[in-house]
C-alpha cells in the first residue's frame, strides 16, 4: 500500500489476510454532527466511517455443531431478501428522527432559559450515557441478535422523544424533563445494529456496496431530518418534530419485532463462546472490552482517532449555538446548512474516499486528513460570515470522513473476528467521548474567546500531530505511494 515505509505501530495494526474481517465503523454516527449517536449536536454528521471496511474477507471459523450456540447459516436467510432493504429503511428512519431532534434542541433549550454553558451540560450528559452504552450495546447485539438490538434501540428512542415532547409543555417542569430525556440515549444505537445486519447478510463481494448504501442512508437522514425539523419547528412549534419522531420510532420498533430475524449471524462466523461448563460471558464484562486497547497497534491508532478529531468535534457540538448567535440563522436556514453537510458527506463517502484508498496507503490518507484539518482550522480562525464557513465545509467533511474511515479500518484489522463487535463498540464510543468532554469545554471557550478559538485549537493540535506522524520511522515497502 505505501511506497515508502510504514510506522512500526501502524504495521502492527494489520494482520494477515486470513484474519481480516469486514466491519463497519461506528456512528455516530455521525459524525460532522454527533452521531455519538446522540448525538446532541452537529458533530454526528460526519461520523461517516460507515463504508470504511469494505475490502476485507470475513474470517472463516469452524462451524459449530447444530444446536450448540450456532447462529443461523447464511442459507437460512436467503428466503428473506427484503431484510437488508428493510434495514436501510429503518436506519434512514431513525437517523431522520435523530437530526430532527438536533434541529430543535438548541431552540427548546433557549426557550427554557438555558445558556450555552447549560446547553453544554445537557450535551455532556448525553455523551456520558452514549459513551457507557456503546460498547455494552455492541456486546448485547452479538449475544442477543439483531431483532433484540434494533427493538431496544427504537424503544429507547421512543422514550427520549416522549420526554422531549413533554418538556415542551408549559405546565410541566421543562428543564427537568429535558435532562431526563437524555437518559434513554445509553441504548440508542440503531446505526451500529443496522451495520451489523448488513454485514452479516451480505456476501463478501457485495459487502462494500451494501455498506456504501447504508452510508447513503445516513446522508439521507441528515438531509431529511434537518429540513423536516426546521420546517416543522417554524410551522407548528418546537413540540411538533418531537411528536413526529416519537410516532416514527414506535413504528420502527414494531417493524423490528415483526420483520427482522432474531439472528443474522452466519454459520461460518467465528462466534465467541464460553468455555465448556464455564459461565457465559457477561454483556457488562468490562475487562473483555478494555483489553482490546492493549493489543499491538490498537492504542496509537485509537489515540489519533480521538485527538485529531476532537477540536472539530468541539466546534460541531457548539454549531447549533454558533449558527444562532454568530451566523444569525433561523431554524429553517440552519436546516438548509445541515442538509448541505449531508450532501457533501454522501459525495465524499460515496465517491471520493473509495477512489483515494485505491491509490494511496492508509498512512498517506491519515496524514492528508490531519493536514487538511490544519488548513481548515487556520481558515476557521479567520472566518466572519456563513459564506466563509460554507467554503470551509468541504475540507472539514473530507478530513472527518477520511479520519474515521482510515482509523476504523486499521482498528478492525488489528483484532480477531471474535472481538470485532467489542472493537466496533469502542469505535462507536469515540464521538460520545468527544460529546462528554466537548460541550462544557466548548461552551466555556465560546463564551470566553468566541468562534476563532475553535480554529486556533484545531490548527495547533493537528500541527503537533502531523509532526508526530512524520517523525515515525518507515520500515516496510508497500504497493502504494504517498
251 vs 305 pLDDT, higher one: 251
| Residue 397, pLDDT above cutoff 50 | yes
| Residue 435, pLDDT above cutoff 50 | yes
Find all residues with CB under 8 Å of 343, minimum gap 6, and list them. Answer: 219, 223
Q: Give the residue-averaged pLDDT of 402-418.
A: 71
**pLDDT class for 416, splitting at 50, 70, 90?**
low
Grid cell listed for 245: 419522531
- pLDDT over 90 for what percent of the chain? 16
Q: Give the residue-averaged pLDDT of 3-27.
A: 42
The pLDDT of residue 430 is 81
The pLDDT of residue 207 is 53
Which residue pairs, CB below 8 angstroms and at least 24 apart, start in 161-168? 161/97, 161/101, 161/242, 161/243, 161/245, 161/246, 161/249, 162/246, 164/101, 164/108, 164/242, 164/245, 165/239, 165/242, 165/243, 165/246, 167/108, 167/112, 168/108, 168/237, 168/238, 168/239, 168/242
The pLDDT of residue 293 is 78
Q: State pLDDT tens for residues 320-377.
A: 788 888 888 877 787 778 778 878 888 887 677 777 877 888 788 888 999 999 999 9
Q: State pLDDT tens for residues 19-61.
A: 433 344 443 344 444 444 344 444 444 444 444 434 444 433 3
What's the topology of domain 8-59+73-269+291-471?
A: Growth Hormone; Chain: A; (1.20.1250)
Q: Do residues 340 and 392 make contact, with C-beta atoms less than 8 angstroms apart?
A: no
| Residue 274, pLDDT above cutoff 60 | no
Most confident of 8-22, 160-174, 222-236, 395-409: 160-174
237 vs 18 pLDDT, higher one: 237
Tell which phi-psi region holds residue 273, choosing left (phi > 0), alpha (psi between -120 and 50) or beta. Answer: beta
What are the structural domain ranges in the chain? 8-59+73-269+291-471
pTM of the model: 0.64
The pLDDT of residue 375 is 94
**DSSP H or E segment with residue 320:** helix 319-325
Residue 46 has phi, psi (to 5 degrees) of: -105, 50
Amino acid at each position: 500500500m505505501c511506497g515508502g515505509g510504514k510506522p512500526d505501530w501502524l504495521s502492527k495494526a494489520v494482520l494477515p489476510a486470513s484474519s481480516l474481517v469486514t466491519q463497519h465503523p461506528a456512528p455516530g454516527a455521525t459524525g460532522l454532527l454527533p452521531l455519538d449517536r446522540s448525538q446532541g449536536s452537529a458533530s454526528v454528521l460526519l461520523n461517516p466511517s460507515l463504508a470504511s471496511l469494505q475490502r476485507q474477507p470475513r474470517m472463516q471459523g469452524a462451524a459449530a455443531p447444530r444446536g450448540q450456540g450456532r447462529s443461523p447459516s447464511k442459507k437460512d436467510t436467503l428466503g428473506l431478501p427484503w431484510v437488508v432493504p428493510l434495514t436501510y429503511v429503518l436506519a434512514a428512519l431513525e437517523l431522520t428522527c435523530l437530526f430532527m431532534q438536533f434541529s430543535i434542541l438548541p431552540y427548546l433549550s433557549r426557550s427554557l432559559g438555558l445558556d450555552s454553558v447549560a446547553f453544554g451540560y445537557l450535551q455532556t450528559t448525553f455523551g456520558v450515557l452514549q459513551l457507557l452504552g456503546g460498547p455494552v450495546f455492541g456486546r448485547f447485539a452479538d449475544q442477543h441478535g439483531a431483532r433484540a438490538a434494533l427493538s431496544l434501540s427504537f424503544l429507547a428512542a421512543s422514550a427520549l422523544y416522549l420526554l422531549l415532547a413533554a418538556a415542551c409543555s408549559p405546565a410541566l417542569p421543562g428543564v427537568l424533563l429535558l435532562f431526563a430525556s437524555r437518559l434513554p440515549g445509553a441504548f440508542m444505537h440503531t446505526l451500529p445494529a443496522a451495520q451489523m445486519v448488513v454485514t452479516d447478510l451480505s456476501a463478501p463481494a457485495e459487502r462494500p456496496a451494501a455498506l456504501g448504501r447504508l452510508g447513503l442512508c445516513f446522508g439521507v437522514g441528515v438531509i431529511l431530518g434537518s429540513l423536516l425539523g426546521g420546517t416543522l419547528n417554524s410551522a407548528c412549534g418546537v413540540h411538533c418534530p418531537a411528536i413526529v419522531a416519537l410516532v416514527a420510532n414506535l413504528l420502527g420498533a414494531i417493524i423490528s419485532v415483526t420483520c427482522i430475524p432474531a439472528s443474522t449471524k452466519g454459520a461460518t462466523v467465528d462466534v465467541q463462546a464460553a468455555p465448556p461448563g464455564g459461565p457465559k460471558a457477561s454483556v457488562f464484562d468490562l475487562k473483555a472490552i478494555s483489553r482490546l486497547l492493549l493489543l499491538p497497534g490498537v492504542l496509537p491508532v485509537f489515540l489519533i482517532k480521538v485527538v485529531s478529531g476532537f477540536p472539530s468535534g468541539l466546534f460541531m457540538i457548539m454549531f447549533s449555538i454558533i449558527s444562532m448567535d454568530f451566523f444569525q440563522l433561523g431554524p429553517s436556514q440552519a436546516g438548509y446548512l445541515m442538509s448541505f453537510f449531508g450532501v457533501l458527506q454522501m459525495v465524499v463517502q460515496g465517491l471520493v474516499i473509495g477512489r483515494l484508498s485505491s491509490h494511496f496507503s492508509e498512512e498517506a490518507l491519515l496524514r492528508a486528513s490531519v493536514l487538511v484539518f490544519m488548513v481548515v482550522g487556520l481558515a476557521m480562525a479567520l472566518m466572519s460570515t456563513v459564506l466563509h464557513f460554507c467554503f470551509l465545509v468541504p475540507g472539514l467533511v473530507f478530513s472527518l470522513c477520511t479520519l474515521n474511515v482510515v482509523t476504523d479500518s486499521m482498528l478492525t484489522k488489528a483484532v480477531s473476528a471474535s472481538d470485532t463487535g467489542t472493537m466496533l463498540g469502542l469505535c462507536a464510543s469515540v464521538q460520545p467521548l468527544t460529546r462528554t468532554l466537548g460541550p462544557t469545554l466548548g461552551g466555556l471557550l465560546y463564551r470566553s474567546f468566541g468562534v476563532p478559538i475553535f480554529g486556533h485549537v484545531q490548527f495547533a493540535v493537528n500541527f503537533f500531530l502531523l509532526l508526530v506522524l512524520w517523525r515515525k520511522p518507515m520500515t516496510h515497502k508497500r504497493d502504494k505511494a504517498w
